[in-house]
Amino acid sequence: MGFPGTWMTESESIVYRVVPKCACSTIGQIMFYSDHGEFFDGDIHDAQAGIHKWAIDASQPLITRNVQKHRSYAFTCVRNPYTRILSSFFDKICGIQRNGKRYRGNLVPLLMQKYGIEVGGEDGKEEFDQIKSFRRFLLFARDTIRWRRPMDPDIHWSAMSGHVSTFIVNGGRYDDIVFTEKFNEGMQRVIDAVELPHKVELKKIPRFNESQGHGPKRAHPVEDYFDDLSMHLVYEIYKRDFQVFKYDFENPGNKMPLSEIDLDEVHAKLGE
């Protein structure tokens, strides 16, 4: 199995387990900058050099050796499940991707046909009932995760605990888990814990939100998208995420975590 979704600086100062839709573009650019003193020119997800990634064959033995011996500071980053699934909907389902096309080719036509989802027309700019379409998307997301129908779950809406756990199950251990909602605070802990070739000043780091502008803007507060049934579906999909990452299931309008993450609990529950 190895360590899918794991990135490491070339200097081996930091190891990071990517969780999609949780500030991964910004974190990747910070890692790249900390080694090279400049940002990667483009989307860091496209970088094939200057940073080690599990998806690059030559990086795999280096990452494996490092993680199994816990030679570097290892961390990941999580986000409120309500805002994460909403972000996935607006970016991946309603948005036009950076290649100028719809995400995953025939996915959106399939959703329109089978679930009656609207996405704002050809370019995602037309008015549509965002709440109704999002709730139908939630049904689809649940179907992919629960029954793997009409397709396997996508990494952008599969549970964070699933991403985080592969690192633990295969022999890794996290030193920190950062909240997207307290990003500077958490990322500062990571930076303070390691020696970096180039100093990183977080206040001066731009936010590399590669999904921004892909789709329509959210027209309503977060809580308006989730009625009683939607909350039930979200809990069915993300129960472990709420529990181990300490987010507030009862109030979709509260994006902040209720308490700090217990790393020992995360390793015990997600390492089974």
**Would you list the DSSP string of 168-233?**
HHTT---SEEEEGGGHHHHHHHHHHHS--SS---GGGPPP--TTTTSSPPP-S-GGGG--HHHHHH
User: What is the per-residue pLDDT for 193?
Assistant: 98
Question: How far apart, in whole angstroms, are the C-alpha atoms of residue 270 and residue 163?
Answer: 10
Going 250 to 255 to 258 to 263, the CA torsion angle's sign is positive
Two tokens, residue 192: 């303070």
Q: Are 169 and 162 in contact (CB under 8 A)?
A: no
**Could you give the percent of the chain with pLDDT greater than 70?**
98
pLDDT at site 73: 98
pLDDT: which is higher, 42 or 214 = 42
Mean pLDDT check: name the lowest of 19-28, 64-73, 210-219: 210-219
For residue range 162-218, list pLDDT tens digits in order: 999 999 999 999 999 999 999 999 999 999 999 999 999 999 998 887 665 667 889
pLDDT in tens, 227-272: 999 999 999 999 999 999 999 999 999 999 999 999 999 999 999 8
The chain-wide mean pLDDT, for the chain, equals: 95
Q: What is the DSSP letter of 71?
A: -
CA pair distance 113, 51, nearest whole angstrom: 41
Measured CA to CA, the distance from residue 72 to residue 14 in angstroms comes to 6
**pTM to 2 decimal places:** 0.95
Taking the C-alpha atoms of residue 237 and residue 89, their distance in angstroms, rounded to an integer, is 15
Structure confidence at residue 116 (pLDDT): 96
Retrieve residue 4's tokens: 């899918």
Q: Which residues contact 49 (CB under 8 A, 6 or more apart)?
A: none
pLDDT of residue 215: 74
pLDDT of residue 211: 60
Q: In 84-111, which positions are buried (b, 16+ CB within 10 angstroms) versus exposed (e)? A: bbbbbbbbbbbbbeeeeebbeeebbeeb
Domain ranges (residues) in the chain: 6-80+156-204, 83-155+217-238
Q: What is the CA radius of gyration of the chain?
A: 19
CA distance 228 to 48: 44
What percent of the chain has a predicted confidence (pLDDT) above 90? Answer: 88
